[in-house]
Amino acid sequence: MKHKYVVVDLETTGNTPDRGDCIIQFSAVTIEDLRIVDQYTTFINPGVPIPPFIEELTGINDGMVLDAPEFKNIASKIYDLLQDSIFVAHNVFFDLGFLRNELEKSGYANFAIDSVDTVEFAKIIFPSAPSYKLSELADMLQLEHDNPHQADSDALVTAELLLILLERAKALPLITLEKLSDMAYSLKSDMYIVFQSLLEEKRKNIENLQDDLEVYRGIALKKKTIQQSYTDEITPNYPWDTEEKIQLFSLHMKDFKHRPGQMEMMDTVYESFIQKKHAVIEAGTGTGKTLGYLLPSIFFAKTERKPVVISTYTIQMQDQILNYEIARLKKMIPFQFQIAILKGRSNYINMLKFEQSLYDKDPHYDTVLTKMQLLVWLVQTETGDMEELNVSSGGRLYKQRIKHDGWFFQMEKDPWFSHDFYIHARNLAQNADVVITNHSMLLVDANKDQSILPEYKYAVIDEAHNLEKAARSCFGKKLEYNSIKFWIGRLGTLEKSQLFNKLEKLLDKKGLSPSLHSFEMDHIISQLDLEIDDLFNMIGIKLSKLNGRKSNKNTKQQLRITEEMNSDRQWLPLVLCAERVYDYHRTISKALETRLSLIKNDDIKISESEQAFVEEINTFIRDWIKIGEKIQQFFLTSSSQNVKWVEGDIRALPNSIGVFTQPISPGDELFTTFFKNKNSVIMTSATLTVNSSFNYYINELGLKKQNLVEKIIRSPFDYKEMVNLLVPSDLPEVRGTVNDDYIEAMANHIISIAGATDGRMLVLFTSYDMLRKTYQLIKESLALEDFVILAQGITGGSRTRLTRNFQQFNKSILFGTSSFWEGVDIPGKDLSCLVIVRLPFSPPDEPITAAKYELIRNEGRNPFSDFALPEAVIRFKQGFGRLIRTETDRGVVIILDRRIDTTSYGKTFLQSIPNISIERGPIKSILSSIENWL
């Protein structure tokens, strides 16, 4: 059955029709027989002024709607247009809700129509898309999108998107469509109509399964590619000569540009491997460091027949290496080589758990949608790595259920063993020349008795400035109130249909009787739940008292737990409560393990669905035991090597509370577990030195200077021509705590600078409190009303989403803290002004910093010069690096912290960045310089 679709998009004065927001533009594209046959578009006079933000977003102003009809004058035409059709929109409930509201006001009450949401549809058909915003999907599918946020352009692109979605859905295997069709009834829009009609059509014209697909146990999958092993008789020679390298690159790279620094880096990496030396290489922006270490790593791995492991901090960097750099190298290098990517086991899907979960009639929307995404993803993925999926927060909970966590029963008993993604990834890694992984996996693997990575002695650590942070996190522990409550909720009591209830039913069915009776266990689970509340409420009281004593009322509070506090009588009730929590928790752990061991008995016959459930319980127990270890480590053991603290938001206690423990100096453990066991580890990043010295970095990682190669490769960019650094001289001095007068002066400077740069500004803060106060002051002043101001933690969205939104608007300003100092990549004209509000020193009362200061003092050293200053300089370099990303970028850096000029240590910051021109003066002369420069 062919449906008529009407694809609608609206532009409005705001998001809430109940508060008087109105439609200012309407567009509808009609699709019949899977072809676009018509488009109707009109402006609509809302009878109210269009807000400046909407004008900036849509480009529609009051003049454009002045002579347009009011909605009531075209209501009948719109009503007729929508008859006997399926209403389609991108985020359909917004458009349909708005339209219903306007139609009812115009006398068309009880307007009912079937609807399809292209956001929901796209999530199912493109389960790995990085974003489901219309503009991002249009980019991904290479659809022309001339005027985003104008109804005619948006409606046309949505219509084209719908046709692609229908075509892709129609191409899915019959068995996948059948499952999707069954589940579609639980979706929010009327997608079941679409899937039913696609299924009927598919059944009429049954086609053979595509060659690259197979059906196993009723699920369609992409066939795994088994890499053939290459036994090259010829041992490749590394191209030591620069001319050889240039020839290699220029033959196969159209955009090749000779970079001497890149060539120097290649030789340094290869020499370090050959000589079995560790190396630290700072490679400035534009060096081409990724190819700088990949090419020698591949040559070394093939020549010496020894694998090289490459580790990155971020997933984006892994993707860039695999999908871009390796693809280029495969064309360039004159021999075959194998690359594999390997992550922690829990990243991979457990197919038995997934298969059996499909039989659950779970009505939960996020779970159903995620199952549908997975069914489509399985015909696309070769890796089974669930990080590829873009799922909702509710979907992430379902992913927890079906993650891989090894096998409770013998792995050969798993009916999916022959198709297991984790086994496949490990097999690929065992045969690979180069294995790509991440820092945390690298460190966990080094710290384990049973290694996951293939045996290796050579490694490259990219984004190496984050290795110490990854080590702290890996060797440390984190325990959050909400997380514990979630695990207790998953376990449940007898009256709840969760894991414990299901486990007891299974035991009962098999006639098994554990020593700890169900009712006793039920009571203990309930008691644990109550004691957890008591424990975290006590912590909440401590945080509230701390907040009351502080003059600077920040809603987020941290309290370091020292050895003295542990022996304080006031802390004793908390310790006693923690002991009760630990005892209850341990009793539950032992009882669960006992129950599983009864089921494991060879005489017990269990079905596949029961087997999947037992594997799920086994995974749960592994995670549950880790919680007990954390409770013991945090509350019931003492260690001079670790720092412990609690933190939480005063506005949301106890839900926001977390307890943390981390090594004060992870360098010793890093050296013992990792560096000591490797022949050569190359560490590289754009920010490793302070004033041209690696000393700080080397000390933090516990490395030894002997036998260590140190290399600084300067950026090839001409920073003097690209960047102007400006320091306003008419701001108050920053000493210690920042007061409201300083924030007001700084906000006024930001307002003036925004006017001179016309937006396109990234403003980096060192504290969220200062960011929030500055944002509020600027908003209340109305001085930047025609600018879009995006603020981390205030205007909503992840770092990636905020960055994308920032790039969409011409007059935009982005306020960021913490994670925005690094890893944010905004090349070109989208960013032409970087404002650094304060030099990025860590607060001295922050738990790790305070513990580090004590340790350094006890060793007779100076905490400021040995830790605080070098740490701040490296962070400053990372922040500075946000502005210039390509050789054509140009802009200004403004530092609103006069300490860079007025203190003896200020020059250390300036000497650690490229040589650029620096201007100082009052804001008026600064603004004049900005306008001249840009």
- What's the rounded Cα separation, in Å, for the pair 835 and 726? 10
Is 289 annotated in some ligand binding site?
yes
Q: What is the separation, in whole angstroms, between the first and last Cα of the chain?
A: 59
Bridge partners, residue 918, by sequence: 725
| Numbers of helices and strands, H then E, in the chain | 38, 25
Is 437 annotated in some ligand binding site?
no
Q: Determine contact, residues 453/446, Cβ cutoff 8 Å.
A: no
Q: Determine contact, residues 278/680, Cβ cutoff 8 Å.
A: yes
Phi and psi torsions of 653, nearest 5°: -95, 145
Alpha-carbon distances of 651 from 109, 427, 530, rounded to whole Å: 43, 49, 22
Is 288 annotated in some ligand binding site?
yes
Name which of 179, 163, 175 is nearest 202 in CA terms.
175
Cβ count near 462 (within 10 Å): 26
Q: Determine contact, residues 454/435, Cβ cutoff 8 Å.
A: yes
DSSP 338: -
User: Three-state SS for 389?
Assistant: coil
DSSP 843: P
| Structure-token match 């269990």, residue found | 606
Burial 781-820 (b: 16+ CB within 10 A, else e): eebbeebbbbbbeeeeeeeeebbbbbbebebbbbbbbbeb
Q: Which amino acid would we find at residue 442?
A: L
Is 361 annotated in some ligand binding site?
no
Is 290 annotated in some ligand binding site?
yes
Name which of 771, 785, 750 is nearest 923 in CA terms.
750
Alpha-carbon distances of 882 from 147, 198, 384, 757, 803, rounded to whole Å: 28, 48, 34, 17, 12
Alpha-carbon distances of 550 from 228, 543, 544, 646, rounded to whole Å: 65, 11, 10, 16
Is 279 annotated in some ligand binding site?
no
- What's the rounded Cα separation, in Å, for the pair 747 and 773? 9
- What's the rounded Cα separation, in Å, for the pair 236 and 302? 7
How is 680-726 classified by DSSP, letter by letter? EEEEEES---BTTB-HHHHHHTT--STTEEEEEE--SS-HHHHEEEE
Is 12 annotated in some ligand binding site?
no
Q: Which amino acid would we find at residue 430?
A: Q
CA 769 to chain centre: 23
Is 176 annotated in some ligand binding site?
no
Residues listed for the chain? 934
- What's the rounded Cα separation, in Å, for the pair 234 and 167? 48
Q: Determine contact, residues 151/191, Cβ cutoff 8 Å.
A: no
Burial class from Cβ neighbours inside 10 Å (0-12, 13-18, 19+) for residue 661 reads buried
Binding residues for ATP: 283-290
Enumerate the known binding-site residues. 283-290
